A = this chain, B = another copy of it.
Amino acid sequence: MANLADVAQTTNATKRVRTIGNVEIRPAEFQVLIEERRVGLTVREFELFQLLAERLDAVVQRPEIYSLMWGGEMPRRDRSVDVLIRRVRAKLEQVAPEWRYIHTHFGIGYRFSPEPA
């Protein structure tokens, strides 16, 4: 169960405003801003984005993403993760067409790294 230390740590790790390049993440508001512009992610989309951003430059495996966001094992041929990735990418591109943030690693998963297009 959560104790005070955990809560404090969680607060520090996930509730603090974080800036990665031109991306600002405000967990307390479920908001992502790129160069002052609001991306407008939904709650679920934000959770996915934050999950990847917390592991900057690391490839997060698809089943792990699933289990973190939906809980339990990922059913075979489940497309939930894809669909969400797609939506996040679309909104990111609307706000910052010159940048690529989420990269596909075929057969493995996804990686968050801001890179020029």
Contact = CB atoms under 8 A, between A and B. Distances in A.
Nearest to A60: B29
Report how many copies the assembly holds.
Answer: 2
B29 A61 contact: yes
A105 to B, nearest CB: 7
12 contacts: A26-B58, A28-B61, A29-B58, A29-B59, A29-B60, A29-B108, A30-B59, A30-B61, A30-B105, A31-B59, A42-B106, A43-B106
Interface of A: 26, 28-31, 42-43, 58-61, 105-109
Residues of A contacting B: mostly: mixed
Contacts of A43: 106-108
Given A29-B61, A43-B107, A43-B108, 14 more contacts: A26-B58, A26-B59, A28-B61, A29-B59, A29-B105, A29-B108, A29-B109, A30-B59, A30-B105, A30-B107, A30-B108, A31-B59, A31-B105, A43-B106
